[in-house]
Chains A and B, each alone.
Chain A
Amino acid sequence: MEASATPATSRTITVEVNGESYEREVDARKLLIHFLRDDLDLTGSHIGCDTGNCGACSVIVDGTLVKSCMMLAVQADGSSVETVEGLANEDELVPLQQAFSDHHALQCGYCTPGMLMSATALLRENPHPSELEIKKGLQGNICRCTGYWNIFEAVKAASE
């Protein structure tokens, strides 16, 4: 049997995050969100609820939108992860981020990294979503400040 098939409390994982490859030893009990924030110092992804409800921790793993508090870091071994830090090139915002700014789609900004990743995943799969599809695409993300309307407008603008 391969080493990965032998139960162990920690293991060495290789993960690509925003195009950069990392090899780290991690405890099996470490959630992906803590690996990103504490081990890699990528603090853009936030922890809101830690129960899979709020979506502030949303990242894209191998092209799939997930909540990184609902996944172990060891489960991401061999995967490619995208976080909010990977969106902008150098100092230039991508159109979606610019649309969030233009439409005042954030107040405190706590939910914003997760909203941006959910909207990114949505627009990749469906570049011109209907209004209902935008709402459904953001369903897993809670915002305590904006009332959602400006977020919705920003995603709509970015899809036009």
Chain B
Amino acid sequence: MLLREVEYARPASVADAVRLLAADDGARALAGGQTLLNVMKARAASPDALIDLADLEELRGIELGADGTLELGPMVTYTQLMESAEARARPILGQVAAQIADVQVRNRGTLGGNVCSSDPTNHFPPLMVALGASFTIRGADGERTVSAADFFLGVYMTAVSPGELLTKITIPSGAGASDAFETVPIGRDGTCIVNAAATVSGSGTRVAIGCVDAVPVLVEPSSSEPDVVKEAVRAAQLDPPSDVHASADYRRHLAEVLAARAVERAAKGRS
């Protein structure tokens, strides 16, 4: 498919990238391109300029702090998440990355692109919410950090405004915590119909459900017992969409079942 005419730049520093994004309302960051190029082919968006982040080594780091905090650069690919020794501090990251599509998509697709596209069926948004990740955003006026709850704002909408760049994703220490991810996808490693990411730790149980609303829905049941989890999901009064893959009723059902399974598996991993 011939894309609409577009400008392209490959800056050598984050400062230059931010400057280019801020200078042109129609400029968009290009990460792995595994969503953006399809969006452009479909003419669902037609940016004036693509600012390719490929050369920005500072966005590719995977750093494990002494306290167990993981700092991930947004340009880290799914394949790198699966292979990184540091990222294994939170094994769920590589496990979820391994469930996305196929080798080719995993080689190009990035964690930053996954969360910035904020597609309600993507794998990483619910996981980021369950893990309590925070996001560092840089713009012309400097840097700020937002929580996962404030990062995902809507379908294809995040706290990253035009002219800004996501520069870091911080995952708090997993000490004493155990995580799990459950999904019913369309075919093996396909698009999720419903997914649920759970974290069970000393401070309680968090389960974030994806594909049932514009952004992940966080539920914090009072225990990890399946019935308690299901009841907590029911109390959230989900209003998921109906489509060719599943009715709203079936998605509501899956949300309860997958949340309970994810929490059960996370709790088992802890003991």
- A residues with CB within 8 A of B: 1-2, 4-9, 11, 27-31, 34, 50-52, 55, 58, 64-67, 69-72, 74-75, 77, 118, 121-122, 136-137, 139-141
Query: In this complex, what residue of A is CB-closest to B32?
Result: A70
A52→B7 contact, CB < 8 A: no
Residues 77 to 126 of chain B near chain A (Cβ within 8 Å)? 101-105, 107-108
Contacts A27-B5, A50-B1, A70-B33 given; indicate if A140 touches B10 (C-beta within 8 A).
no
Is there a chain A Cβ closer than 8 Å to B20's Cβ?
yes
- In the complex, 23 of the A-B residue pairs with CB atoms within 8 angstroms, ordered by the A residue number, are A5-B9, A5-B12, A7-B8, A7-B24, A9-B5, A11-B8, A28-B6, A28-B7, A28-B8, A30-B3, A31-B1, A34-B2, A52-B37, A52-B38, A52-B104, A52-B105, A67-B105, A70-B37, A71-B108, A74-B8, A75-B30, A139-B102, A140-B105
Contacts A5-B10, A52-B105 given; indicate if A75 touches B4 (C-beta within 8 A).
no
Residue among A7, A28, A72 facing the most chain B CB atoms (10 A cut-off): A7
Residues 1 to 40 of chain B near chain A (Cβ within 8 Å)? 1-12, 16, 20, 24, 27, 30, 33-34, 37-38
A7→B20 contact, CB < 8 A: yes
Chain A proximity of B197: nearest CB distance (Å): 22
B103→A6 contact, CB < 8 A: no
Is there a chain A Cβ closer than 8 Å to B52's Cβ?
yes
Is there a chain A Cβ closer than 8 Å to B253's Cβ?
no
Residue among B16, B30, B51, B52 facing the most chain A CB atoms (10 A cut-off): B52
Query: Which one, A29, A66, A139, contacts B107 given CB within 8 A?
Result: A66
Of the four ranges (under 10, 10 to 19, 20 to 34, 35 or more), the interface on chain B belongs to: 35 or more
Contacts A28-B6, A75-B54, A139-B189 given; indicate if A7 touches B103 (C-beta within 8 A).
no
What's the Cα separation between A50 and B7 when bound, in Å?
21
What's the Cα separation between A141 and B189 when bound, in Å?
13
**Contact partners of B2 in chain A: CB under 8 A:** 29-30, 34
**Contact partners of B33 in chain A: CB under 8 A:** 70-72, 75
Is there a chain A Cβ closer than 8 Å to B70's Cβ?
no
**Contact partners of A9 in chain B: CB under 8 A:** 5-8
Is there a chain A Cβ closer than 8 Å to B41's Cβ?
yes
Q: Assuming A4-B9, A70-B38, A74-B8, what are 19 further A-B pairs, CB within 8 angstroms?
A: A5-B16, A5-B20, A7-B8, A7-B27, A9-B5, A29-B4, A30-B3, A31-B37, A51-B41, A52-B105, A64-B107, A65-B107, A66-B107, A71-B108, A74-B10, A121-B103, A122-B103, A139-B102, A140-B103
Chain A proximity of B38: nearest CB distance (Å): 6
**Contact partners of A75 in chain B: CB under 8 A:** 30, 33, 52, 54
B104→A31 contact, CB < 8 A: no
What's the Cα separation between A52 and B104 when bound, in Å?
9
B9→A58 contact, CB < 8 A: no
